[in-house]
Amino acid sequence: MNTTQLECFMAVSNFLNFSRAAEQLRITQPAVSHQINTLEDELGVKLFYRTSKRVRLTQAGHLFSQYAREILSLSRMSKARLKEGQDSSVLRFGIGCRSFLELRLLGPVLGQLREEFPQLMPVLRLVPFDSLENLLEDGDVQVMFTFQETAPKRAVYRELSRRAVVCVCGKDHPLAAHEQLAIQQLREGDRFAAYPPHSAPPSLLAVQGQIITGRSTDQICFCEGLETLYTLVEAGFAFAVIADLPQVAMPGIRAIPVQEFPALSYGVSYQAGEMGPVLRRFLARMEEFFQAGDRRV
């Protein structure tokens, strides 16, 4: 079934005359007859009673006319809306994030871009890693935050900063009294909040593995994501080990460097050949944001 068949059906049902329907549609009468016959074959019913002198709708034809009218109306509306989208002056820019911490990085930078590009409409996607990589490949997002270890292989990776591994805990937690921590101190700590395997780079999961080893299951909180992890940390139920992104330290939470582990390369990935003006400015602004944060440390 297609719109041509439906338009022919509606024209014939309006005029109850194949010749006049053909004139309105500006096609030949045999072409109209062919479309009606094909439609009836597909539906498995007769839509018109036809004699040499008159044409009238069958009961099935009357019923189908309601559906045909709605389908054509929806088709026209869809085309109009899509055309509006193509003609729109809005400049959409998709950004992929894996956690609320990455979303928190965007506020200052998007505020600057809004002044530079008044027509900019950011499209923020917060999704798991595998899905995010697919969105980048399909062009649904133009850039995504990522660690170098987990950057999509077929995309361009650009480092923004190198981030230390830190222990996050509540300010009243026993570990909060330290300025630095060693892995042995973390292994001797109390309840630990663990990342899901898909949401962290392998080197950070390796650190987590060393801390978990030998612990009883009641000393491990397995979290579905950073939001859950941070809630448990903030409430004082557990401590965790994460990368020291600029927005890691929040009111009531301490971020303490963990010795023995090299800093992690953190940045963004984007598709080769997709460097438009918005992406170019976004990258420049993000680099400035991280550099300013590093100078404050």
The per-residue pLDDT for range 106-149, each reduced to its tens digit, is 999 999 999 999 999 999 998 866 688 889 998 999 999 999 99
Please tell me the distance from the alpha carbon of residue 145 to that of residue 273, in angstroms, as a whole number: 18
CA distances from 253 to 219, 238, 244, 245, 277 (A): 20, 11, 12, 14, 38
* CATH number belonging to the domain at 91-161+266-296, selected among 3.40.30.10, 3.40.50.2000, 3.40.50.1820, 3.40.190.10: 3.40.190.10
CB 157 within 8 A of CB 127: no
Q: Which fold has domain 3-87?
A: Arc Repressor Mutant, subunit A (1.10.10)
Q: What percent of the chain clears pLDDT 90, i.e. is strictly above it?
A: 62
Please tell me the distance from the alpha carbon of residue 137 to that of residue 142, in angstroms, as a whole number: 9
* Mean pLDDT value of segment 23-52: 92
Class of domain 165-262: alpha beta
Say which amino acid occupies 43.
L
pTM listed for this prediction: 0.68
Q: Is the pLDDT of residue 157 over 90?
A: yes
The per-residue pLDDT for range 215-253, each reduced to its tens digit, is 898 999 998 888 889 999 999 999 999 999 887 668 889
CA distances from 178 to 168, 185, 243, 244, 268 (A): 11, 10, 18, 16, 32
| Nearest by Cα to 244 from 296, 282, 288 | 296
Going from N- to C-terminal start, the domains of the chain cover 3-87, 91-161+266-296, 165-262
* 86 — pLDDT class (breaks 50, 70, 90): low
CATH topology agreement for domains 3-87 and 91-161+266-296: no
* Mean pLDDT value of segment 81-109: 83
Q: What percent of the chain clears pLDDT 70, i.e. is strictly above it?
A: 95
When the pLDDT of each residue in the chain is averaged and rounded to a whole number, the result is 89
| Region for residue 44 given its phi and psi (left: phi exceeds 0; alpha: psi -120 to 50; beta: otherwise) | left
Q: Is the pLDDT of residue 101 over 90?
A: no
Beta bridge partners of residue 125, listed in sequence order: 96
Joined together, the tokens standing for residue 290 give 């991280």
